[in-house]
Amino acid sequence: MASVSNPPPQGIYVPVPTFFAAPSSKDFDVASPPLDLEAQTKHSLFLLNGGIQGLVILGSTGEAIHLTNKERVQLIKSQREELDKAGFKDRPVIAGTATQNIEDTLQQLEESKAAGAEYGMVLAPGYFASAASQQGIIKWFQAVADKSPIPVMIYHFPGVTNGLYIAPSTFETLAQHPNIVGCKLSHGDIPDHTLIASSPKIDPSHFVVFSGLGQNLLPVLTVGGQGAIDGLAGVFPKTVVRLFQLFQDSSAKGTTKKDLDEMRSLQFKICEGEKLVAKWGTVGIKEAVARTWGIGDKDSARLPLAGGFQGGEKEWDSWKEVYAGLKELEESL
C-alpha cells in the first residue's frame, strides 16, 4: 500500500452497546429481537454531546457476534447518517470485526466502509490461541491490512480470544504497516501498555494506543497512551472526558498539585463505576444507561445473554450509591 493512513484522533471513544427491541414490544422475537435504532441514535447523540471523540460500533460491547452482516451495515449506516445530520461529521465511526478468517474480515471491512465507517477495529483471531505464533499473528494482521479499504486498528482482548497473547514486539512490527494505525488494549497489563505506548520503535503520530479500560486511563496516559475506548464512558461521558482533558491541559501548562488531586479523584470515581462494567459487561452498561438516563431498555439483549441483571433490583441496589454519585458529578460538568 503506497500511502500512509492517518490514525483516529486521540481522546475518549465509546464501544457502544447495540440496542434491541424490548421484550414488551409488539415486534419482539426471542430468537432474534430487532434493532432499536431510535434508542441507538438517542444514545449516540448523548455521547457526542458529552464530548466523546467518536464511536466504536460492533465491538464486544456491541454484541458484534450476535448480528448478521445485513444488520451490521444497517446499524453503522444509520448512526453515521444520524451523526452527520446532527453536525458531528468530524467524529469518526470505528467498526468492529470479530471473525476468524481473513476473507470474512475483509468483507466486513468493505461493508463497513460502504456504510460510512472511517476505521476498522479488528479483533485478533483467537480460536487457535494455544497454537498461534507471534509470526502467525503478524502475518494475519498484515494480510488484512494489505487489502482493507479503511485503516485498521488491532483489538487485543485476551478475555474473548481464548487468552491469545500479542507481545509488545509484535505491536512494534505491525505499527510499521502503513494501514495499521493503532490498537485497543483490553487488559490490565500496564507494563505491556508502556512497552507499546512508550516504544521508541513506534511513531505515535501514525499508531495510537488506546486502553480498553477506563480504570487504567490515568496511568496509561502517563506512559504515552492517547486515550481510551471505554465502557463506563457510555454512561458518564463527561466524567471520563474530563479526566482525559485535564491530563492534556495540565501536561501542556505544567501539572499542579491541584490538578493531580483532581485527576486522582476522578480516576477513583471512574474505577468505582467500572466495577459494574467489569462484572456485567454490555448487560451492565445497558442496565446503567436505562436506569440512569432512560435510554433503551435494560432487558434488551440477544441470547445467550439474558437481558438485565440476574439479581434484579437487589443487584442494582449494590451499585445505586456509586452511580448516583457519578450521575451528580456528570451533571455538574
Q: Which three cell numbers stand for residue 310?
A: 440476574
Q: How many CB atoms lie within 10 A of CB 169?
A: 14
Distance CA 233, CA 231 (A): 5
Contact 159, 186 (CB under 8 A): yes
Contact 316, 280 (CB under 8 A): no
Q: Which three cell numbers stand for residue 109?
A: 471491512
201 belongs to the catalytic site: no
Distance CA 230, CA 310 (A): 23
Q: Which three cell numbers stand for residue 146?
A: 494489505
Environment class of residue 101 by beta-carbon count within 10 Å: exposed (0-12), middle (13-18) or buried (19+)? Answer: exposed
Check 26, 85, 184, 298 and give the catalytic one. Answer: 184
Q: Which three cell numbers stand for residue 86?
A: 446532527
* Backbone φ and ψ of 66, nearest 5°: -95, -5
Distance CA 233, CA 273 (A): 10
- Residues forming the active site: 184
